[in-house]
Structure 1
């Protein structure tokens, strides 16, 4: 089978992508600075088909590393999470662009296909969001807008580099969830699940009527292993990957988590700024539901429903701690 590079492969999405390629029989090279790691990588260290380089991708490439002989690169390294990005406000945009630019150049030099992860945050508005829709930049700048603009720029850089010979796709994932996702980034599903397991209040921000469509990380990884080649061959550039069937309000998610887990936790509405600080803002996309265009045309469909995704997350955190949150608390 092939050799795959996954940047950010110790992070939430990256580790699921690495697992999917290893399960397919590929060899995997993980490049990760460990800043946003949700696993320690020890299991990968003992797998002869997996190599872990504990460095940022910028340092790896600057130090003489390259992608020669690689069959594909999946660029998942980035600061993530509505709370996680707050620590990098003001430099967030530079960090995202400066980690992507050398990856583009290295893939061009080695003639290696590339997948770049963007974000559904780029749409900058509410509603049913399709790949062909215009995107907007709200006027009130904050950390989430900085993140969205930076992701938009990496999309433009990637798509425009196709004119230089780059073979690449951009994925806009919608509210990915599942095992290993950390509450430390401010992600709602692992936060609710861990609160329910501990019997502490389940904290709902704002009105709780925000609509999110939750996608299993395993379904996202399956798009890459099963459909990336077809997407490149078909000439697709920007691809929504999400699960509109799992659309739910945040309040309804809290209620479902509590019910499925038989938890005694009360559900309470709180001001997010009291938890994450004054820089925290809700997303401009108050209602954020994907329209599946290119992914559906390629034959991909999400499989894991909302209940199974909640239970999968709960099962993981019954057996393991939240590595990233534990590290952040030290």
Structure 2
């Protein structure tokens, strides 16, 4: 196949590119490089991979499209509780605008689409199923703007199926692993890098927030191996996560410290003191996926939490977080 991955130099996107190349496919990467975690030089050297370093909007404005490709995976987006803050008031338009362009281009070329949404759309705590109602809180901070934008793209995909669009939506739950940068405000690479440097491990709020971490490799395996099955199923939206890896943020800090043999002190801090006054915690205090739709297709996560912590640590033992060079540590 020939696969288009928007945002293919970012964290999730680059893992998808690697997985498709490993499976023997050709890949076209379209990335503005705003959130890139890899420079793409290895992809440039691979004859099966083409890297186009521009936004998806500029790519389409130049008259390009998706004709001759076999599928599009749209991961390009501002992401991360810290990274999105710079786009306050513009973030919704960013998310919806790019998704709209991708949807129309897929319809024009009759190419199936996998669109990445977010577990943030649920807007509440609990064991979260794809069939559950979505709650929209009225505290309109940047994080809510992000969630509403992603919710609208889901509705656009589902409604466009009536126009002939073949598509699925992924709601990932706390994806982590090698290459993820602390620049986005992501907790796993932040804790791991702090522990490796014997710096204080900074736990925001009470530390009782529950998150269920899934390895990027497990996520990409779902997309690469099960997208065809998902397109042929009765479901459109798929939670992809690992409920067995559910843990409080404080317990995660303690586990990272223990596994890495770190001398770091664990401290509670206000996230606003690190990322500024507009930073907000997620509305989902306890965010754990129900894997009803994905498990029906035969997919199950394989990487446990300790493995995931060590995979992240092994990566950053030998590499700098270039994107996070100016992020708090």
TM-score by length of 2: 0.99
Task: Tell me the distance in 2 between the aligned counterparts of 1:327 and 1:184.
Answer: 8
1:98 is aligned to: 97
Task: Tell me the distance in 2 between the aligned counterparts of 1:301 and 1:61.
Answer: 36
Shift of the alpha carbon at 1:326? 2.2
Task: Tell me the distance in 2 between the aligned counterparts of 1:327 and 1:222.
Answer: 32
Task: Tell me the distance in 2 between the aligned counterparts of 1:285 and 1:235.
Answer: 27
2:193 is aligned to: 194
Task: Tell me the distance in 2 between the aligned counterparts of 1:54 and 1:300.
Answer: 33
- Superposed CA RMSD in Å reads 0.9
Task: Tell me the distance in 2 between the aligned counterparts of 1:252 and 1:192.
Answer: 11
Task: Tell me the distance in 1 between the aligned counterparts of 2:170 and 2:240.
Answer: 7
Shift of the alpha carbon at 1:234? 1.2
TM-score by length of 1: 0.98
Residue 130 of structure 2 corresponds to residue 131 of structure 1: yes
Residue 246 of structure 2 corresponds to residue 271 of structure 1: no
Shift of the alpha carbon at 1:64? 1.2
Task: Tell me the distance in 2 between the aligned counterparts of 1:173 and 1:316.
Answer: 22
Q: 1:283 to 1:64 in 2, by over 3 A?
A: same
Residue 43 of structure 2 corresponds to residue 74 of structure 1: no
Q: 1:327 to 1:282 in 2, by over 3 A?
A: closer
The CA deviation string for residues 8-52 of structure 1, in whole angstroms up to 9 with x for no partner, is 000000000111100000000000000000111111111111100
Alignment of 1:7-18 (within 5 A): 7-18=6-17
Shift of the alpha carbon at 1:162? 0.3
Q: Which 5+ residue runs of structure 1 have no aligned equivalent?
A: none
2:224 is aligned to: 225
Alignment of 1:250-289 (within 5 A): 250-289=249-288
Task: Tell me the distance in 2 between the aligned counterparts of 1:73 and 1:172.
Answer: 16
3-state secondary structure, aligned to 2:232: helix
Alignment of 1:113-152 (within 5 A): 113-152=112-151
Deviant stretches of 4+, over 2 Å? 326-329
The CA deviation string for residues 234-263 of structure 1, in whole angstroms up to 9 with x for no partner, is 132111000000000000000000000000
Shift of the alpha carbon at 1:328? 6.5
Alignment of 1:1-330 (within 5 A): 2-326=1-325
Task: Tell me the distance in 1 between the aligned counterparts of 2:134 and 2:308.
Answer: 29
3-state secondary structure, aligned to 2:171: strand
Q: 1:327 to 1:104 in 2, by over 3 A?
A: farther
Q: Which 5+ residue runs of structure 2 have no aligned equivalent?
A: none
Task: Tell me the distance in 1 between the aligned counterparts of 2:305 and 2:280.
Answer: 25
